[in-house]
Chain A
Amino acid sequence: MFTSFKAGEKGKIVDLSHVNHLVQRRLLDLGITEGTEVCVKCVMPFGGPIMIESCGQCIGIRRKEAVQMEVVKV
């Protein structure tokens, strides 16, 4: 589960198919897809968005979308 990650932990995306279609498209535009390695940079309080890093770029996504991403720790 992606949301159990703490800041600084790395993971590899396994499955994005449950994520909202538009979000999937946008992530793809940013080069994030199945197989991409991501690192959680920080987690906003009160169920706010999380900030992830992949290939040197930082991206903010909502917690509820992050929940639907299947990620394994590496």
Chain B
Amino acid sequence: MEIALIGNPNTGKTSLFNNLTGSYEYVGNWSGVTVEKKVGVFKNNIGHLIDLPGVYTLNPLSRDEGVVTSFFLNESVDRLLNILDASQLERNLNLTLQLLEYERPVLIGLNMIDVANKRGIQIDVSKFSSLLGVPVVPVVARSGKGCDKLVDVISTKSVEPAKKNLVYYGKEVEAAIISLSKEIEGKTEQSLRFLAIQYFEGNEQVKNYLHTITDSVTLSKIHSALEAELQNRYNSKSLSNFIYLKRKETIDKIVAEAAVKKSTVVPLSEKIDMIVTNKFLGIPIFLMFMYLLFMLTFDWVGTPLSDALDALLTGPVTGFFESALTTIHASAFIHALIIEGLVAGVGGVLVFVPQIFILFFFISLLEDSGYMARVALVMDRIMESVGLNGKAFIPMIIGFGCNVPGIMAARTIETPKERLLTILLTPLMSCSARLPVYALFVGAFFAGHRALIVLSLYVLGIVVALILAKIFSSTILKSETSLFVIELPPYRMPQFQSLWRSTWDKAKGFIRKAGTFIFAGSVFIWLLSYAGPGGLDVDMDHSFLAMIGGVIAPLLAPIGFGTWQAAASLITGFLAKESIIATMNIIYFVPNDSSLQGLLANYYTPLAAYSFMVFILLYIPCLATTATIYKETGSKKWTVFSVVYALFIAYVLSLIIYQGGKLFGLV
């Protein structure tokens, strides 16, 4: 059995999904965190649960919402599980009524009754259920209370809607629904009434769908005749507005009968808002939060943990491999491959796991608490001035963790141009894979100011993105329409369990990459460094790797690091940014990261090191990111553009920093 989970954004849909399927899913709090179609298996194996993006209506505005409509048009589903926010019944019912018109079995999970009660709203569940003609089960999605009952009802009861045509749209519209239904009868498997009403509402996707199965002229004749009639008779603004008002009438009637409202008290959430979205304190508070994040990741907690892990890997772990290899009398080649290639390469990357976990933990905290939407609001003025909108800031912050989900999160931006711009600029956000490179270099050259130097790189990424946004939006990506309406969900105390889940969900990708990509890459790089035109086990300076790097090195000389080692590690950085560290560990074969830092001082000056970090920050989106850009834009042209402009900007900025720095006497 296929069951689709659908509801408004921020109704606890993803929490409910987790509780029903027990799978490790991503739980968030800002509008549109579910960016992909996700399928889970029910805990008691009664079928599949499909998690759809949150929508307010089936008539889509953004691409995220389009996913839902196309799902309804093109795929078959056995049952719909509609989750409602009890504290926002009117708004949520607008979607429910459309779902009922779809004429598939519907079951309602009524969430956030506690919030509703606090606001003075009391709901009579059985009355509500009989008015809608479908089963209604109260749930607490966050704790999982009521989920057993929900599963019970899904699997046993027949949830065929008892009432048909809940909304009466007036005799003119009803007559037009019948005549349009006649046109498409027998040509589609979907509900005719649903298609007709959505068509009249101006749903573009339904319109395109209908045009593929029947004559478009006849349809638009019915539409305009109806609109004209309504205008004459009722002086209605538009057909879609007329339908909306009819639906609202029904909703008001249902709510009046099933819910009682009393006077309210100011919820805590609004008190917090007075501070964090305060006129003058909003941006400083956000910056403070980011500073705290960096201090925790790099100074207070992350670095000591990483150092401890480094000591463990280079000491006992390497020792273990050494003695194991000696015991089995491994050949010199295998010995070198494992110790100099794998342990140095993979181990050098694994050391940064604690810092990456801390970073992801804070990003999850931002999402789950509801602060993310506030950040979008606070940042909108700045973003608007460069031709973006505040919502673009969310993909960028997620991009700090990993650019791939960041780019996917851009789907919630309604206007195509702003979305494309956000996709192109998100790779400039310094993702966690670039973090090991910074950590290594700041440790070697800027030990006294770790957090500050790293923060400067993150800020540089943002500043470059904003400047480029301004340039792109006023040249190649001009757009007149910009849309910014954002829902600010109430603050929620994040639950440790769901925080841990989403942190683990994001960070495990990093560990998996270390086991696969970096593992294979390390072997390959080591082989290239071990072999040369002169045979195996050559001096590294005469290896294939040195030759390849040597070709590019002269180009890099003007920006401060014209060595073949730097060039070779930059090439591998395209596969994954953290493999830059793996490559360096192999090239400068050293037992651990701290001795690598000592060695680096012979090859870089502090100025060149900073220039190198800036280059790493900007130079190219990694392979996975490039693939995602291609998938999301569907355009080879824009994908190539995203790589080329990044390379160009990186080179120019590094050149300015290095040459400019030398002029000022820095070294």
Whether the pair B61, A22 counts as a contact (CB closer than 8 A) is yes
Q: Does B12 contact A (CB under 8 A)?
A: no
Whether the pair B484, A58 counts as a contact (CB closer than 8 A) is no
- Over the window 25-59 of chain A, the binary record of Cβ atoms lying under 8 Å from chain B Cβ atoms (1 yes, 0 no) is 11111110100000001111111110101011111
B57, B381, B481, most chain A CB atoms within 10 A: B381
Q: Does A72 contact B (CB under 8 A)?
A: no
Smallest CB gap from B282: residue in A: A44
Q: For A20, give its contact among B279, B481, B490 (CB under 8 Å).
A: B481
Whether the pair B273, A44 counts as a contact (CB closer than 8 A) is no
Whether the pair B484, A61 counts as a contact (CB closer than 8 A) is yes
Q: For A57, give its contact among B88, B237, B380 (CB under 8 Å).
A: B88
Report A24 CB to chain B, min CB distance, Å. Answer: 9
Whether the pair A29, B56 counts as a contact (CB closer than 8 A) is yes
Q: For A44, give its contact among B264, B279, B481, B485 (CB under 8 Å).
A: B279
Q: Does B518 contact A (CB under 8 A)?
A: no
Report B393 CB to chain A, min CB distance, Å. Answer: 12
Report how many residues on chain B are interfacial, defined by Cβ distance under 8 Å.
Answer: 40
Whether the pair B273, A49 counts as a contact (CB closer than 8 A) is no
Q: For A56, give its contact among B56, B87, B415 (CB under 8 Å).
A: B87
Report B202 CB to chain A, min CB distance, Å. Answer: 9
Q: For B488, give its contact among A33, A47, A55, A58 (CB under 8 Å).
A: A58
Expressed in whole angstroms, the Cα–Cα distance for A17 and B414 within the complex equals 20
Report A54 CB to chain B, min CB distance, Å. Answer: 10
Whether the pair B270, A29 counts as a contact (CB closer than 8 A) is no
The total number of A-B Cβ pairs within 8 Å is 104
Q: Does A18 contact B (CB under 8 A)?
A: no
Whether the pair A45, B279 counts as a contact (CB closer than 8 A) is yes
Q: Does A73 contact B (CB under 8 A)?
A: no
Q: Does B318 contact A (CB under 8 A)?
A: no
Write out the residue numbers on chain B whose beta carbons fall within 8 Å of the beta carbon of A47.
381
Whether the pair B244, A28 counts as a contact (CB closer than 8 A) is yes
Expressed in whole angstroms, the Cα–Cα distance for A41 and B61 within the complex equals 26
Expressed in whole angstroms, the Cα–Cα distance for A68 and B487 within the complex equals 20
Expressed in whole angstroms, the Cα–Cα distance for A4 and B466 within the complex equals 31
Q: For B381, give its contact among A23, A46, A55 (CB under 8 Å).
A: A46
Whether the pair A26, B485 counts as a contact (CB closer than 8 A) is yes
Whether the pair A22, B481 counts as a contact (CB closer than 8 A) is yes
Q: Does B1 contact A (CB under 8 A)?
A: no
Report A10 CB to chain B, min CB distance, Å. Answer: 14
Q: Given A17-B237, A23-B485, A59-B486, answer yes or no on A42-B273 (Cβ-Cβ < 8 Å).
A: yes
Whether the pair A51, B381 counts as a contact (CB closer than 8 A) is no
B273, B280, B488, most chain A CB atoms within 10 A: B488
Expressed in whole angstroms, the Cα–Cα distance for A22 and B204 within the complex equals 14
Smallest CB gap from B414: residue in A: A22
Whether the pair A25, B270 counts as a contact (CB closer than 8 A) is no
Expressed in whole angstroms, the Cα–Cα distance for A47 and B279 within the complex equals 11
Write out the residue numbers on chain B whose beta carbons fall within 8 Å of the beta carbon of A45.
279-280, 381
Q: Given A60-B377, A60-B486, answer yes or no on A49-B390 (Cβ-Cβ < 8 Å).
A: yes
Write out the residue numbers on chain A whose beta carbons fall within 8 Å of the beta carbon of B481.
20, 22
Q: Does B317 contact A (CB under 8 A)?
A: no
Report A40 CB to chain B, min CB distance, Å. Answer: 12
Q: Does B91 contact A (CB under 8 A)?
A: yes
Whether the pair B484, A25 counts as a contact (CB closer than 8 A) is no
B87, B90, B484, most chain A CB atoms within 10 A: B484
Q: For B485, give its contact among A30, A42, A48, A56 (CB under 8 Å).
A: A30
Report B275 CB to chain A, min CB distance, Å. Answer: 10
Expressed in whole angstroms, the Cα–Cα distance for A61 and B377 within the complex equals 8
Whether the pair A25, B273 counts as a contact (CB closer than 8 A) is no
Q: Given A44-B378, A44-B381, answer yes or no on A60-B90 (Cβ-Cβ < 8 Å).
A: no
Whether the pair B273, A51 counts as a contact (CB closer than 8 A) is yes
Whether the pair A56, B119 counts as a contact (CB closer than 8 A) is yes
Write out the residue numbers on chain B whose beta carbons fall within 8 Å of the beta carbon of A44.
277, 279, 282, 377-378, 380-381
Report A9 CB to chain B, min CB distance, Å. Answer: 15
**B267-318 CB contacts (< 8 Å) to partner A:** 267, 269-270, 273-274, 277-280, 282
Whether the pair B273, A41 counts as a contact (CB closer than 8 A) is yes
Write out the residue numbers on chain A whose beta carbons fall within 8 Å of the beta carbon of B278.
42
Report B409 CB to chain A, min CB distance, Å. Answer: 18
Smallest CB gap from A48: residue in B: B381
Write out the residue numbers on chain A whose beta carbons fall within 8 Å of the beta carbon of B88.
31, 55-57
Whether the pair B488, A25 counts as a contact (CB closer than 8 A) is no
Q: For B277, give its contact among A33, A42, A53 (CB under 8 Å).
A: A42
Whether the pair B381, A60 counts as a contact (CB closer than 8 A) is no
Expressed in whole angstroms, the Cα–Cα distance for A39 and B278 within the complex equals 16
Write out the residue numbers on chain A whose beta carbons fall within 8 Å of the beta carbon of B267.
56
**B130-189 CB contacts (< 8 Å) to partner A:** none
Report A15 CB to chain B, min CB distance, Å. Answer: 11
- Shortest 6 CB-CB distances between A and B: which pairs? A29-B56, A48-B381, A58-B488, A31-B91, A60-B377, A26-B485
11 contacts between A and B (CB under 8 A): A22-B481, A26-B61, A30-B91, A30-B485, A42-B274, A44-B380, A51-B377, A58-B273, A59-B485, A59-B486, A62-B384
Residues on B lying within 8 angstroms of A by beta carbon are 56-57, 61, 87-88, 90-91, 94, 119, 237, 244, 264, 267, 269-270, 273-274, 277-280, 282, 373, 376-378, 380-381, 384, 390, 414-415, 481, 483-488, 490
- 16 further interface pairs, Cβ-Cβ under 8 Å (given A22-B483, A31-B88, A57-B488): A22-B415, A22-B481, A26-B414, A27-B485, A30-B91, A30-B487, A41-B273, A42-B278, A44-B378, A49-B381, A49-B484, A51-B488, A55-B91, A56-B267, A59-B488, A62-B380
